[in-house]
Structure 1
Amino acid sequence: MLLSLLFAPRAEGRPVADIPFSLQGVHIFVMAKVNGQGPFPMNIDTGGGMGLSLGLARKLGISSEGDIVGGGAGGNTVKFGMAKNLSVGLGGVTLSGLSGTIDGNLEDAAAGIGPELFQAYTVAFDYDRLRMRLYPKGTIPALPKASKLSLRLQDDGKPLILVKVGDQEGWFMADTGGGVSLIVQKNFWQPRQVDRQSPKLVKAIVGYGVGGPIYGRFGRLPKLSFGGIDMPNSLASFSDMTQGTLSNPKRAGIIGQRILRRFNVVFDYANASVYLTPNEAFARPASFGRTGLSGLAEGYGYPVDYVIKGSAGERAGMRKGDVIVAIDGQRLDETSAAQAFARAEGTRLKLLVLRGDRTFETTLVLREVL
């Protein structure tokens, strides 16, 4: 892939771009120009690749140049359109000559980028200040308190780091696009009986990926460590998936944003390294959730895909297929749903629920699941 990097030379170790980002849930979004137009929201995703929503492709007048069938962490395959000769402008630098996918299921004008960015620059995320900084390829900022980890790049450009899960060690993808803590693949945990190290396991949808929901069980590990950093009592998901990327025999699983955001992170692909510095969020308690509901908020509400037995959601009478359309009288979107569900244990939420062709109200009292 040809990358035309348009910026004036800078001193090594100094950023060529310093870009604010926002967190939607735990996902990183910056504002970027695509083909000189915009800016539009762009997800920065080490586990993904250059892609456009159908809504953005239409807005830019981009037509698909053929189709491909792909998959992700979910078990189903998905058909994507293809776009070529794209350019992305970020904080005054431009990457051009890019190819990407068009996701026909997404109507909002948005985009994503992954290896294309990380292979061109050293990329640093400062979660304390919500800044993404780009450094010349192969250079890094001063990192006096960082732990350095070796990075192994897969053929598709996705980064792996060595993680010790309980008493077992494996290579996990460091996924800034993964809204999870740790997902351990079945081909890794089952033969090593890693799941038995958790004192309690809860059956649930443990995440979502391209191709649909990820089924498995949640638990807590007495010890999780990488790069000399210990994270006791960490949340872990034990995937039951036997298809899709979570059956990849070359890795043990995914370490996602709910762990990565606890560090200021520097990805230096050129030197096969990643640097982690614990930030303000490092010591905060990790919560699996307080509703017992699994779903993805959409424009019309929060459709419920799974209700954990004995959870606050089940006690409130929720069922699979229900759609929460409002909480405490406020219409829902992805951000407002996440904020409401993250309130303190014991908080009472008044839900307006659509079930079939009727609506009803119920009260859900937040309570830790695990």
Structure 2
Amino acid sequence: MLRRRFCSSLGATLAVTASPTLASADDGPLVGPIQLVGSRVVMPVSIGNAGTFLFAIDTGGAFSLIREDLARQLSLPDGGTLNVGVGGVTGFRNTFVISDASFAGIIRQRNILLVGVGPHVLGDRIAGALASGILATVFSELDFDALQWRVWPTGRPKLEGFTRLDSTITRPEGGRWSPFMTASGVVNGTRLRFLLDTGGLSLVRLNHHTARTLGLWSDDRPFAPARNGARIIRLEKMEFAGYTFEGLLALLLPDNQVVDISDGLIGLPLLRCFNLACDPVQRVLWTRRNSLSPGPFTYALSGLAVTQAGEAARVTAVGKGSPGEQAGIHPGDTILSPPPQALQQALNGPPGATISLTIGRDSGQSSATLTLRAYL
């Protein structure tokens, strides 16, 4: 096969590493540890006799990942190449086979194919990522209060205090990729469909068409420029799983990015507020509000997006209402100093920091001073 076999075969070949008596829903679930590490939720994965590594749980991923340098260090067998997209970049990538792995000490799986990625894709301390099959193959729960992953291999528990979401667990045609989980949410009074993505770093992300339809993509509305032409704005109100969140920051995709399986996604910084249970038989999701608050999601307080242009930087976007706009900087301006690397660091500085810039235009050079502040 040209992909890992985890999500399609786990239910058939699942082996429990704990006592078999725990496999009954009446006797209780299998329980393994999870952690919140930075912007990721992770579990320990033991790879044969090579050691135990932290893998992110990525319910938005169609396939599982491993750091390519680690795969080669462990001499994992080559699984061929696969043309896939990771982090918005599509191309042929090497794959690797793990012949025997244990997930959180409770689930064992053989012959897993993972896509190799660079060392900076997943962040420090994270060795790989497990796609949605880790949750959607058998009945399971992520408990962010207790930091536990619970699995019922042969039964279904009583879900006390949980709310059934207007949701679907969808298996792609042909079963080649992992299932994706979608649920409804309401943004500023409009009901939308969201991909639930524990690997998503944003609180809420909206596709470009959705953002325009809701009037959120507007040059008259305060926004912070983000990577690759995206924008960050502040929502008035977001309703999800029976709870209302006011003033969340949302990432808006630019018009050159198309995502057609939903209107947007809800990422881990918001999902972590709920214990999440997956019922693969009924193909629905259940949630229960826990004690956690939404995780952090930030933006550059300068309101400027720049790209390097030789020894200078070219301004590509200026956020409405930002210190950059207040200082009279416009898209197309050239920032002659500070140099690009120092400039990029300064533009992402803390509130109250000041930046002195030398601006170049056809009309000549000028100076500008920015004082960084929260403006959304």
TM-score normalised by the chain length of structure 2: 0.70
Select which of 154, 159, 170 maps to 1:142.
Answer: 159
CA distance in 1, matches of 2:145, 2:54: 20
Unaligned residue ranges in structure 2 (runs of 5+): 306-314, 328-334, 355-369
CA distance in 2, matches of 1:140, 1:185: 36
CA distance in 2, matches of 1:326, 1:221: 27
- CA displacement, residues 166-204 of structure 1 (integer Å, 9 cap, x when unaligned): 2332321100001101111013333x2341699833141
CA distance in 1, matches of 2:344, 2:211: 38
CA spacing shift, 1:104–1:12, aligned 2, 3 Å: same
Is 1:5 paired with 2:14? yes
- CA displacement, residues 104-132 of structure 1 (integer Å, 9 cap, x when unaligned): 45598712111331233333222233333
Shift of 1:226: 2.9
Shift of 1:291: 4.2
Which has the larger Rg?
2
In structure 1, what residue type is equivalent to 2:201? G
1:98 counterpart residue number: 112
2:234 counterpart residue number: 220
CA distance in 2, matches of 1:79, 1:197: 36
2:262 counterpart residue number: 251
2:214 counterpart residue number: 193
CA spacing shift, 1:55–1:308, aligned 2, 3 Å: farther
Identity %: 18
Contact in 2 for aligned 1:307/1:319 (Cα 8 Å): no
- CA displacement, residues 339-364 of structure 1 (integer Å, 9 cap, x when unaligned): x98x8x66x79xxxxxxxxxxxxxx9
Select which of 39, 44, 50 maps to 2:57.
Answer: 44
Residue 71 of structure 1 aligns to a residue in which SS? strand
1:64 counterpart residue number: 78
CA distance in 2, matches of 1:35, 1:115: 22
1:209 counterpart residue number: none
Contact in 2 for aligned 1:19/1:90 (Cα 8 Å): no
Pairing of 1:1-370 with structure 2 (within 5 A): 1=5, 2-3=9-10, 4-7=13-16, 8-10=20-22, 11-12=24-25, 14-24=28-38, 26-48=39-61, 49-72=63-86, 74=88, 76-84=89-97, 86-92=99-105, 93-104=107-118, 110-136=127-153, 139-140=156-157, 142-146=159-163, 148-155=165-172, 156=177, 157-190=179-212, 192-195=213-216, 200-205=221-226, 213-243=227-257, 247-282=258-293, 288-289=298-299, 291-292=301-302, 310-311=322-323, 321-322=340-341, 367-370=373-376
In structure 1, what residue type is equivalent to 2:35? F
Shift of 1:55: 1.6
CA distance in 2, matches of 1:140, 1:117: 18
Shift of 1:46: 0.5
Residue 109 of structure 2 aligns to a residue in which SS? strand
CA spacing shift, 1:57–1:160, aligned 2, 3 Å: same
Alignment coverage as a number of residue pairs: 319
CA spacing shift, 1:369–1:27, aligned 2, 3 Å: farther
Contact in 2 for aligned 1:197/1:222 (Cα 8 Å): no
CA spacing shift, 1:228–1:60, aligned 2, 3 Å: same
Contact in 1 for aligned 2:225/2:232 (Cα 8 Å): yes
CA distance in 2, matches of 1:165, 1:152: 22
CA distance in 2, matches of 1:199, 1:86: 55
- CA displacement, residues 125-161 of structure 1 (integer Å, 9 cap, x when unaligned): 2223333333336624533254544224251312111
1:332 counterpart residue number: none
- CA displacement, residues 66-103 of structure 1 (integer Å, 9 cap, x when unaligned): 222222452x3233112235433123221223222112
CA distance in 2, matches of 1:215, 1:279: 35
In structure 2, what residue type is equivalent to 1:100? L
CA distance in 1, matches of 2:298, 2:219: 14
CA distance in 1, matches of 2:318, 2:81: 38
Contact in 1 for aligned 2:65/2:117 (Cα 8 Å): yes
Give the CA RMSD over aligned residues.
3.9
CA distance in 1, matches of 2:285, 2:90: 31
Residue 60 of structure 2 aligns to a residue in which SS? coil
In structure 2, what residue type is equivalent to 1:128? D
Unaligned residue ranges in structure 1 (runs of 5+): 206-212, 296-304, 328-339, 350-363
TM-score normalised by the chain length of structure 1: 0.71
Shift of 1:45: 0.6
CA spacing shift, 1:269–1:321, aligned 2, 3 Å: farther
